[in-house]
Amino acid sequence: MVRLANSGPWQLTVADGKGTLDPVSPLPPGQGPPLTLGARGLAALYAGTPVSTLRQAGLAAGGSPGYDAALDAAFAGTAYMLDAF
């Protein structure tokens, strides 16, 4: 199910150990977002997959690979499960 209020471009800002995600108005023509991720790419990034791997898998596009390390650091962590199956 798609929620229309969640569609469109969003901007992630990380500062002082806190991240915020805000909708952004359309970008001027010719100016693309720093990095484009779909739902699958964002889920994989959130799970700790490096941005370079997301690029190779076609789940991330645009932006500058020079900033990938900053995103990798922002989403680094040890995976854990709260429940056992």
- 3-class DSSP state of 44: helix
| CATH code of the domain in which 15 resides | 3.30.1050.10
Q: Calculate mean pLDDT across residues 6-10.
A: 79
- 3-class DSSP state of 79: coil
Identify whether 30 is part of a domain.
no
The pLDDT of residue 84 is above 90:
no
Identify whether 81 is part of a domain.
no
pLDDT computed for residue 33 by the predictor: 64
- Please give the mean pLDDT across all residues of the chain: 83
Identify whether 21 is part of a domain.
yes
CA-nearest of 43, 32, 34 to 64 is: 34
Q: Within 13 Å, how many C-alpha atoms sit on residue 54's CB side?
A: 27
Q: What is the pTM of this model?
A: 0.70
Nearest-Å Rg of the Cα atoms of the chain is: 14
Domain count for the chain, please give it. 1
Render pLDDT for 11-47 as a digit per residue (tens, 0 to 9).
888 888 888 888 887 776 776 667 888 889 988 998 8
Identify whether 56 is part of a domain.
yes
State the residue range of the domain holding 66.
4-25+35-73
